[in-house]
Structure 1
């Protein structure tokens, strides 16, 4: 297979296909990634999200409704632990636009986010300045968008954005990386015509016990679960469930959406959904 590697949205992408990628195809993918990043990145001073954080108002994007609909479901399932207004909570702990990594006191996200933010198929509107952060599912959404752009590329296809993976065609065997030892796997999944997304507390970690997976109700990093994996037909829902699995209610959301999953606790035990096809090598909870 031909492999195209590049950096975008702060992560490394690897896209594989039987036929390779011509310049027009690569340009179309680059344009779509730039469009999404320009609308939704809280790390860009020129993004729509940054403008809404300063001024409130509207953000025009076809991604608003799919992502915020999914946030609504995830927020309800986790009793508010998943919340798209967690941006200020992350910034308070040092994971800000400047990557200062200097932690202050935890800040809870607004629990009434659905009153502050409304959305339609055309975009989202904030009634006051708020900092949206779509990190719980945004990368998965972008993997789906890139896969759609590549729909005309014949044959097998693998889109991998820093471990958030969508596969079309023949099955691919993927190791589930141990969160405390990147040279080991806790299991293997055979993925075919589906997406696998993962989240772990060792990714985007800094300071003493600080990482990017926060409980929006408290602004404090989670402590019980170390890593999660979710398998779904599309990457956005897999990504959202991988985040929700750090909290009570995550398995219920996965069951409602028909998503299979694995998660590993901080003491090394693993559990999975009843129908999950993964082969696990570690002790079950």
Structure 2
């Protein structure tokens, strides 16, 4: 297998194919990523998100309806904990465009976000100042778009954006990295023609126990769960479920979207869904494929 590695949207990508990708295909993948970043990055001065910070209307990106629709379901399932207008909250804690990491006072996301942020077939409108952040599912959506661009590439294709990945035309055995010890795994799972996404509080973390997974109701990082893994038909929904699992209600939306999952609490307890068919390396008896929990 041939692996093409590159950096984009602030993370490391690997695309694995049976044969080297022609230059025109690589350029097409780069164009897909650039379009998405130009629309949704809150770290770029020229992005659509930045232009809408004070409110206004712009042409709707092709991804807007799908992503905001999923956000609506996430918000409902988690009681408002997941919110696409949490960008102000992230910036308030120091995860801003300059990545200053200088925290201020917590800033909850507006709970009436669906009134403020509206999307039609033609336009995306933000009523009043706010910062859109699609981190709960945006990277997963981009993985799906990149894989779609590779639709004519024969054989097994794996698109991996640093833990958010999708496999087409085959399977891949994946280790579930321990959130507190990258040299260990809490289990392994085989992903066949599906997507797997992982999220952990040790990634994008900074001083004082701060990290990127915020509860939009409080503007504060979650404390109960340390890491989540979700497997779904596409990467956007796997990414969304991995985020939702940090909150009450995550299990329900996983079931609605036919997603398997595992999560580990900050005190070492591991829970998994009834549909999870991987192998978990747990210190007490427990088997995948039967929902339950135990301690690692």
The Cα of 1:208 is off from its aligned counterpart by 1.1
Superposed CA deviations along residues 232-270 of structure 1, whole A, max 9, x for unmatched, are 010000000000000000000000111110000001111
The Cα of 1:54 is off from its aligned counterpart by 3.0
In the alignment, the residues of structure 1 paired with residue 79 and residue 230 of structure 2 have an alpha-carbon distance, to the nearest angstrom, of: 20
In the alignment, the residues of structure 2 paired with residue 274 and residue 58 of structure 1 have an alpha-carbon distance, to the nearest angstrom, of: 43
RMSD over aligned Cα atoms = 0.9
| Match in the other structure for 1:261 | 261
Q: Secondary structure at the match of 1:182?
A: strand
Unaligned 5+ segments in structure 1 are: none
Q: Which ranges of 4 or more aligned residues in structure 1 deviate by more than 4 Å?
A: none
The Cα of 1:60 is off from its aligned counterpart by 2.3
Contact 1:62 1:123 in 2 (8 A): no
| Match in the other structure for 1:187 | 187
- Is the deviation greater in 117-126 or in 84-93? 117-126
- Is the deviation greater in 50-59 or in 70-79? 50-59
In the alignment, the residues of structure 1 paired with residue 120 and residue 193 of structure 2 have an alpha-carbon distance, to the nearest angstrom, of: 30
| Match in the other structure for 2:24 | 24
Superposed CA deviations along residues 6-41 of structure 1, whole A, max 9, x for unmatched, are 000000000000122000000000000000000000
Aligned residue-pair number: 285
In the alignment, the residues of structure 2 paired with residue 242 and residue 37 of structure 1 have an alpha-carbon distance, to the nearest angstrom, of: 21
Contact 2:57 2:123 in 1 (8 A): no
| Match in the other structure for 1:252 | 252
Superposed CA deviations along residues 167-206 of structure 1, whole A, max 9, x for unmatched, are 0122110000000000000000101100000100000000
Contact 1:56 1:125 in 2 (8 A): yes
In the alignment, the residues of structure 1 paired with residue 206 and residue 255 of structure 2 have an alpha-carbon distance, to the nearest angstrom, of: 33
Q: TM-score, normalised by structure 2?
A: 0.95
In the alignment, the residues of structure 1 paired with residue 207 and residue 123 of structure 2 have an alpha-carbon distance, to the nearest angstrom, of: 36
Q: Quick one: structure 1 residues 231 and 4, their matched pair in 2 at CA, closer, same or farther if it must change by over 3 Å?
A: same
In the alignment, the residues of structure 1 paired with residue 106 and residue 152 of structure 2 have an alpha-carbon distance, to the nearest angstrom, of: 46
In the alignment, the residues of structure 2 paired with residue 190 and residue 65 of structure 1 have an alpha-carbon distance, to the nearest angstrom, of: 31
Q: Secondary structure at the match of 2:85?
A: coil
In the alignment, the residues of structure 1 paired with residue 71 and residue 61 of structure 2 have an alpha-carbon distance, to the nearest angstrom, of: 16
Contact 1:111 1:217 in 2 (8 A): yes
| Match in the other structure for 1:209 | 209
Superposed CA deviations along residues 49-92 of structure 1, whole A, max 9, x for unmatched, are 00001343224201000000000000000000000000000000
| Match in the other structure for 1:273 | 273
Superposed CA deviations along residues 115-143 of structure 1, whole A, max 9, x for unmatched, are 00111234421122321000000000000
| Match in the other structure for 2:108 | 108
In the alignment, the residues of structure 1 paired with residue 112 and residue 20 of structure 2 have an alpha-carbon distance, to the nearest angstrom, of: 47
